[in-house]
Amino acid sequence: MERRNLFKASAGIAAATAAGFPSPGVSQNAAARTLRFVPQANLANFDPIWGTQYVVRNAAAAVWDMLYGVDENLVPQPQMVEGETVSADGLTWEFRLRPGLLFHDGTPVLAKDVVASIARWAPRDPMGQMIRAIQDELVAVDDRNFRWKLRRPYPKMKFALGKTGTPCCFIMPERIATTGNATMITEYVGSGPMTFKRDEWVPGARAVFERFGRYTPREGTSSWLAGPKRVLVDRLEWVVMPDPATAANALQAGEVDWWESPISDLVPLLRRNRNIAVDIADPLGNIGSFRMNHLHAPFNNQKVRQAVMMAINQEDYMRAVVGSDTALWSVLGGFFTPGTSSYSEAGGEVMKRANMDGARRLLAESGYANEPVTCLVGQDQPLLKPMGDVTADLLRRLGMNVDFVATDWGTVGQRRAMRNPPGQGGWSMFHTWHAGADAVNPAGYNALRANGNDAWFGWPTVPSVEAGITEWFDAPTPETERAAIDKINRAAVENVVYAPTGFFRSYQAWRRNVSGVVKGPLPFFWGVSKS
């Protein structure tokens, strides 16, 4: 007996005994207009500038629109702007907004809203900070036009305003955008294709979005964050499921429609179900890594870092993290995202082939004095635990003294910010990964910065990397950009800014009655329909 029949039978008894019990029936049309989505993580807060977690960005992209949006070729296209003009010297940018843009509260989107939103976003974003550093003025000229005057040209302006990396430059009403960026906003009004149902938000369990009927999509073809954002369902429900097995069961039973990040162990099970489609989620994938602390021994010694990099066998990491599905991973010869125009293997031959004997020789030459390597591993993160195990084995085989600290990600997050020596509460290395979308070029690639105290955790100081980054930002042509990328890659490998452990992708899965799911760095809910 199937569930519906069982409950139909019991419904008769219920009707006879208690007319007040409503039936659980939901019309099929209503079900088809609601898309139930299992996100990668809980939407714990909803301020995409205050917090920069990817899950917040993913939800925010449906609610807040952007001035530009990158397409699947990573080219920024106008989104909220109708167009822009740049002065001949490249110092003055004039932007004009599209007509008819409305916020969810019915008020028009004005240039002053844009100016306030940029002012809140810029201090939080690496590219925004660069623009602020050369900003002369940012003003609303009238309701639809705003001007950004700079003291130096900034050719990557449109990419900065349209990139997928967090924080994205989302446009909010002025009254919300004037909230300090250290304070969380409490009103979630955007001008994107969906509204956020704050009254139905149960952090840790559910978030609900509804189609914004007064949204004016662009003409053309939708591609990632660019083009028309036509929402084809009335309602989008995010159902948070911390347990992957439960999510797999719910997808198989048809209780949810789309699962953003199934773990690789469960993918074969999902593939066997003819009602479920499985495909790569994000072609830009992720770069696994461990970061070494450049401030303290032993990794303040370049030769020790080089020895470790020489010993790394990325295949070991990838098999431990992703499994034997070789379609999902590849070995890296550089620091940028494979398959993109920025990918470079300049100087990266050493990364692709492990050489343990050579690494041991180099370690001996380095003068390594058996200092303990405090290796932090967030065991509650499914990707990090196996990476940590492989690293501990690698370092021991290399002849290093490993102090393996198995803890949770919250503790790693606290401890990695400490600059003390490892023996005084600090650390020597920790594991993480970087979204390929952030590593497509130096613009939002925090992990590659090597500007000492201002750099990401590990605080590498490598002037040649920084010089290459500056050259990339100033590059007027694709050829000069390419030269800068090669320079950065070579310097990053030689100085081991960090240690990449391989490139990997993950799957997404959805019911076959859902169509329009695309591969991308975030789930795009426009263009997705359900029959």
Residues in touch with another protein (CB under 8 A): 1-3, 6-7, 10-11, 14, 18, 21-24, 42, 44-45, 47, 50-54, 124, 165-166, 182-184, 186, 202-206, 239-243, 245-247, 249-250, 252-253, 255, 380, 407-411, 413-417, 432, 434, 438, 444, 446-447, 454, 456-457
Shortest reach from residue 354's CB to another protein, in Å: 27
Q: Is the dihedral of CA 238, 239, 241, 247 positive or negative?
A: negative
Helices (H), 134-278: 157-162, 174-177, 244-252, 267-271
The contacts of residue 441 (CB under 8 Å, 6+ apart) are 159, 336, 340, 342, 472, 485
Yes or no: say if 390 and 316 are a contact pair by the CB < 8 Å rule: yes
Shortest reach from residue 205's CB to another protein, in Å: 3
Shortest reach from residue 11's CB to another protein, in Å: 7
- 227 vs 442, beta carbon nearer another protein: 442
Q: Got the DSSP string for 301-332?
A: SHHHHHHHHHH--HHHHHHHHT-S-GGGEE--
- 40 vs 515, beta carbon nearer another protein: 40
Shortest reach from residue 324's CB to another protein, in Å: 24
- 302 vs 446, beta carbon nearer another protein: 446
Residue 124 is encoded by which pair of tokens?
């939080």
- 252 vs 515, beta carbon nearer another protein: 252
Residue 212 is encoded by which pair of tokens?
């914004």
Q: Measure CA 44 to chain center.
A: 16
- 23 vs 513, beta carbon nearer another protein: 23
- 57 vs 305, beta carbon nearer another protein: 57
Shortest reach from residue 454's CB to another protein, in Å: 7
- 26 vs 327, beta carbon nearer another protein: 26
Shortest reach from residue 53's CB to another protein, in Å: 5
With H, G, I as helix, E, B as strand and everything else as coil, classify residue 500.
strand
d(CA 36, CA 236): 6
With H, G, I as helix, E, B as strand and everything else as coil, classify residue 292.
strand
| Number of helical (H) and strand (E) elements in the chain, helices listed first | 17, 21
With H, G, I as helix, E, B as strand and everything else as coil, classify residue 382.
coil
φ/ψ of residue 319, rounded to 5: -65, -35
- The CA distances from residue 66 to 33, 83, 147, 445, 489, in Å, are 26, 13, 16, 20, 31
Shortest reach from residue 446's CB to another protein, in Å: 5
Shortest reach from residue 253's CB to another protein, in Å: 5
Q: Measure CA 493 to chain center.
A: 24
For tokens 């309602």, the residue is 235
- 12 vs 99, beta carbon nearer another protein: 12
d(CA 269, CA 244): 12
- 134 vs 417, beta carbon nearer another protein: 417
Shortest reach from residue 93's CB to another protein, in Å: 26
